[in-house]
Structure 1
Amino acid sequence: MTVASRPVLTRRAALAAASALALPFFARAPARAQDAKTIRVSYPAAVATLDPAKFRVGGLEYNYALCVFNRLTQQDAKLQVLPDLATSWEPSEDLKVWTFKLRPNVKFHNGKVLDADDVVFTYKRLKDKEVASVLRAPLDVVDTVEAVDPTTVKFTLKIPYADMPALTAGYQAMVVSPSIMDTITTKPMGTGPFRFVEYRPGDQMLLEKNPDYFLPGVPKLDKVVLRVIPEYTTAVAGLESGAIDIVYDLPAEQIDRLKKSTVANVMEVTAGTWQGIVWHCGMKPFDDPRVREAFIKLVDKPMMTDIATFGHGTPTVTPIPPTHPFFNKSITMGADIPGAKKLLAEAGIKPGFTMEMYIPGQSPSMERLATAFRDAAKQVGIALQLRIMPQDKFFAEMEGKVPLAVDNFFGRTTPDLMLYSWYHSSGSWNNTLWHYSNPEVDKLLDAARTTADKAKQAELYGKFQEIVAKDGPGSVVYVQNFACGVSKKVQGFSPSPLMLVDVSTATVSA
């Protein structure tokens, strides 16, 4: 879909437009008789794969896996690393050997008992170039992984690395077994609190209680229904009618509306998920660093954050959020239109230059961000044509394959995990997304990940932010809040800042 030229977008205009658009849909969702042992959660987009190692899209992918699988570790709302399949872990003094102890008597859904060989298989598969997992690049720190005994796994690293426990909590690091690989993409089986029953693409996924789950009394529900509902207005209407219990990742325009509801609440947390303007550094005109810097200067981050999120986001420089102690507060985040004009002229980009900008659909905030950026580009004589694509088409055919796009990514939990895969020249997301190479950035990121000295890390990451604020592969505009619409009948649930919906301890009243 092409967005035609329109007047300059302001927050007030965007909010009014969103509110008007929402009204006709509220009567569309059918009501249902509430089943107190079933919870229904809506997501705006379908999965691209059921194989955790190959996850790229997030949303339903990550959250179905949270129900069906487990990782060695997990993280709480404060991003502290906690046990999952591993009960404990211990580093060597030089941080180059990490030993994890596994829970005993954990069973996969096919009845096989989990052992260290399954963990070794999982991590060797994640490191396999043919699998092409985005976790492969972060796991390059791992030299070998071996089973010491049935409940002990040892990781030997190439470098000292303090973040190894957090790395094993990665979204793609769900532990699998060779015994379940034949059906990993059709009927996946993990060790999680729910078992996979069926998936109807574009419609819904059905999960059922795992009676053999290793945590006593968990899960409390018998069934989980994960619905695919692209239109948020329809999903919210379903929430208010009782057909849906949780609406995942509410857009900003729906948050204030639901706060007035008598049957649902809004649960909102600060998250590290970021949205931004990204460019392909291997394609013209972004192979010229002057053009990259000019496009960065077009972005008034506070203004565009306000327009896109209606106050439910925070401007940032990179994926390091402003709440993090390593955030570089000295970097300005306003626009410099005269500076952008000068750089574009030096690069030979003349007024009247046109190009397309791609945006994944089902994301009102990214559409507003794109519109605000288009309006800024007009000030330097650049005409952007906005192309809003269905999410599945965007992620399969546009992401990392077009010169200019708006994109977003889930937050990670340590600066190394936030940055290395995106900005290092060897990074998996970098080589998928924006194809950026800066030797000084590589040196800073390599040095930061090999020291446990927090003051030194702060210095290195501060310098990194200064570089990419001028010559970066895109403009990370803001980190957004994560909000869910939740029926008042749901108890025992709270959203995670990692944008995970853990329903393993949730209940639904009749």
Structure 2
Amino acid sequence: MTEFEMKMSAAKRAVGLGKLSRRDFMSFAIASGMTISAASTLFASAARAQPKQGGVFKAGIGHGQTTDSLDPATWSNGFTFSWGKSVMGAPLVQVNQKNEAVPHVAESFEPADGAKKWIFKIRKGITFHDGKTLTADDVVATINYHIGPDSKSPAKGVLSNLVAVKADGPDTVIFELNGGNADFPFLLTDYHLSIYPSEGGKIMWEKGIGAGPYVLKSFEPGVKLVGERNPNYFGTTYFDGIEVLSIIDVAARTNAYLSGEVHFIDRADVKTIDMVKAAPETELYNVSGFAHYTAPMHCDAAPFNDVNVRQAIKWAINRQDLVDKILYGYGSAGNDNPLSPSMKYAINAEPVYSYDPEKAKSLLKKAGLENLKVDFSASDAAFPGGVDAALLMAEHARAAGIEINVVREPNDSYWDNVWLKKPWCLCYWGGRPTADAFMSISLAADAAWNDTRWKHPRFNELLVAARAETDEAKRQAMYAECQQLVHDDGGQVVLMFNNYVGALSTKIGHAEFNSDFDHDGGFMYERWWMA
């Protein structure tokens, strides 16, 4: 899609949403070289593309496994993450297209006591799918489920500075923190934290009953989820129903789209994207954001427990070659800083890890090694082209005296049996809306998803201090030091920042996309409509 086509597509969406007048649209179209007649016809067509209810939206998702569960504390992949955003679940706070935290189940929120306390007012009249009224007690029970002493939920790390949460009447919830946190509402956008009905202080998640846009009709782990529009949803949604299909194999996913079985596929194969773009009634879903592909090393396991080995591997990988040959240009090279360059507080840490086999060799010598042989677990479940990326990395590293033995792991059990368990593997991250949210869930010492097992005292001290710091300059400096420490000492090899690339039928209407996650930030089921 050319720059003009992208701008025209955005202009048509703005017309459909009533945000661009006929006069302004005509001026843009004519200035772009269109005739008055063609521009007028195009405006009329776009004006008809206003959101409307009806139809069943079908999506082919490149994730999902037979061990997937309705338990929100276990959600860990692209098939399950939308469930708490815009399928069965409804969180207290949503992220809008401008990367702002906006109230959702909450009607409002405000800080107190230097942002050590946050007061949330709950929207009145919300009911769960079973008819039960949502109250402050349900919010408290939901949060406690994720932060309890026995919790394995990834959200526990996100909410690590939460000391207590309590109801103050049926419509008010008070969060008490161990330090100030100006970003706290963003933390409650985490997709695990959709609100569930409760009894006796315990949530009931087993039947998938939430307060979200869709009522769960059926769920077959690793295969399919079917939802029906919730007639009592407190927000706005358009589809009468949704079908979410787990299609891990990219060729099968592409064929499902080309045959009309689904309206949308994520994680398109960029090697064949030109063929997909040429399909009738197809729009390329191409969104750059915070997502990235990584190769986490366990810093407590040999040989990765030696920082010289970690750095040697980092210099032995040609990241730009990965961008060119695996992403086909739909992304940018990483530099072992997990924060996207477009994210607030992000820095470009020095030195930039370019491909330098000789430097890698010298670091191996510092570690007392002439050469190195390591196993590297890979699967296309981690990201499209994951195995090819691993083989390419092995080719790069050979010049540095590093022999990478690529272990091809099964797709369907990758997230249960490989990630977080094998000493070196592939991973992907969808990103988070703030620096604190991302580093807390993936790099903090006690984070459930600390997939490098990296525990750096100074980093963890800074992470806590930056969270409470209200002086912007001081906070910037703290986050800068955090990123430099991760870059220099951590085990997270950030291979590349990937665009979200998929295929979307023009039969589906939408507004401007969110960029913090794939699937329109997880909100495609709620925000899109039949055009």
TM-score of the two chains, using structure 1 as the length reference: 0.87
Offset of 1:329 from its aligned partner?
3.0
* 1:390 alignment counterpart: 410
User: Counterparts of 1:258-297 in structure 2 under 5 Å?
Assistant: 258-297=276-315
Say whether 1:415 aligns with 2:442: no
Matched residue, 1:44: 62
Give me the whole-angstrom Cα distance separating, in 2, the residues matched to 1:168 and 1:201.
26
Alignment-mate amino acid for residue 42 of structure 1: G
Aligned partners of 2:413 and 2:462: how far apart in 1? 35
Q: Distance in 2 between matches of 1:482 and 1:424?
A: 26
> Could you say what secondary structure the match of 1:496 adopts?
coil
Whole-Å separation in 1 of the counterparts to 2:211 and 2:415 = 29
The CA distance in 2 between the partners of 1:233 and 1:255, in whole Å, is 11
1:448 offset after TM fit, Å?
A: 1.4
Distance 1:325 1:176, change over 3 A: closer
Question: 2 CA distance for matches of 1:183 and 1:198?
Answer: 17
Aligned to 2:173: 153
- Counterpart of 1:61 in structure 2 is 80
Q: Does 1:326 align with 2:352?
A: no
Q: For the Cα contact (< 8 Å) 2:69–2:75, is it kept in 1?
A: no
Q: How far did residue 347 of structure 1 move?
A: 1.8
Once the 2 structures are TM-superposed, how far is the Cα of residue 408 of structure 1 from its aligned partner?
A: 1.0
- C-alpha distance in structure 2 between counterparts of 1:52 and 1:80, whole Å: 28
| Cα distance in 1, alignment partners of residues 138 and 322 from structure 2 | 46
After superposition, the Cα gap between the structure-2 partners of 1:455 and 1:112, relative to the gap in structure 1 and judged at 3 Å, is same
2:153 and 2:125 map into 1 onto residues whose CA distance is 29
Query: Match of 1:109, as an amino acid?
Result: H
Tell me how far 1:406 sits from its aligned partner: 1.4
**Aligned residue in 2 for 1:477:** 495
Deviation at 1:182, TM superposition (A): 8.2
2:508 is aligned, of 487, 490, 500, to 490
Deviation at 1:495, TM superposition (A): 4.5
* Greater alpha carbon shift after TM alignment, 274-283 vs 50-59: 50-59
- Summarize the Cα distance change of 1:458–1:316 in structure 2 as closer, same or farther, 3 Å threshold: farther
1 CA distance for matches of 2:289 and 2:424?
25
Distance (Å, rounded) in 2 between the aligned partners of 1:495 and 1:42: 18
- SS at structure 1 position matched to 2:458: helix
Supply the distance in 1 between the matched residues of 2:81 and 2:523 (Cα, whole angstroms).
9
Contact 1:52 1:173 in 2 (8 A): no
Aligned with 1:347 (options 331, 351, 367): 367
Q: Secondary structure at the match of 1:340?
A: helix
SS at match of 1:267: strand
Partner in structure 1 of residue 479 of structure 2: 461
1:110 correspondence with 2:155: no
Aligned counterparts of 2:530 and 2:416: Cα–Cα separation in 1: 37
Instruction: Name 1:127's counterpart in structure 2.
Output: 147
- Shift in CA distance, 142/36, structure 1 to aligned 2, threshold 3 Å: closer
Cα distance in 1 for partners of 2:467, 2:432 equals: 15
Q: Which residue of 1 aligns with 2:37?
A: none
Specify which of 307, 311, 318 is matched with residue 329 of structure 2: 311
State the alpha-carbon separation in 1 of the partners of residues 480 and 321 from structure 2. Answer: 24
Distance 2:148 2:72 in 1: 10
Give 1:387 shift.
1.9
Residue identity over aligned pairs, in percent, reads 24
Q: Aligned to 1:446, what secondary structure does the other structure show?
A: helix
Name the SS of the counterpart of 2:488 in structure 1: coil
Query: Out of 457, 474, 481, which is 1:439 matched to?
Result: 457
| Distance (Å, rounded) in 2 between the aligned partners of 1:157 and 1:491 | 41
Instruction: Select 2:467's aligned residue among 446, 449, 455.
Output: 449
The alignment status of 1:336 with 2:343, answered yes or no, reads no
- Give the aligned partner of residue 193 of structure 1: 213
Partners of 1:38 and 1:52 in 2: CA distance: 25
CA shift digits 1:398-441 (9 cap, x unpaired): 112222111111210100112123222222222xx211122222
Q: Helix, strand or coil for the counterpart of 1:429?
A: coil
Cα deviations by residue, 1:38-89 (Å, 9 ceiling, x for unpaired):
1111112225433353234221101233211100000012211111100110
Specify whether residues 190 and 272 from structure 1 end up closer, same or farther in structure 2 by C-alpha distance, changes over 3 A only. same
Aligned partner letter, 1:365: G
- Give unpaired runs (5+ residues) of structure 2: 1-52
| Pair 63,79 (structure 1): closer, same or farther in 2 beyond 3 Å | same
User: 2:36 maps to which residue?
Assistant: none
Is the CA contact (8 Å cut-off) linking 1:296 and 1:469 kept in structure 2? no
Indicate the SS of the match to 1:221. Answer: coil
Call closer, same or farther: CA 1:422–1:111 in 2, change over 3 Å. Answer: same
Contact 2:64 2:77 (C-alpha < 8 Å) held by counterparts: no
Indicate if the aligned counterparts of 2:162 and 2:177 stay in contact, CA closer than 8 A.
Answer: yes
Unaligned 5+ residue runs, structure 1?
1-34
Query: Is residue 377 of structure 1 aligned with residue 407 of structure 2?
Result: no
Q: How many residues are paired up?
A: 469
- Amino acid in structure 1 at the alignment position of 2:441: S
Q: Cα 1:490–1:418, aligned 2, differ >3 Å: closer, same or farther? A: same
Q: Secondary structure at the match of 1:195?
A: strand
Task: Give the aligned CA root-mean-square deviation in angstroms.
Answer: 2.1
What is the deviation of 1:282?
A: 1.2
Partner of 2:526 in structure 1?
A: 504
Q: CA deviation at 1:119?
A: 0.3
CA distance in 1, matches of 2:442, 2:527: 34
Counterpart amino acid of residue 461 in structure 1: Y
Matched residues in 2 for 1:273 and 1:476: separation? 10
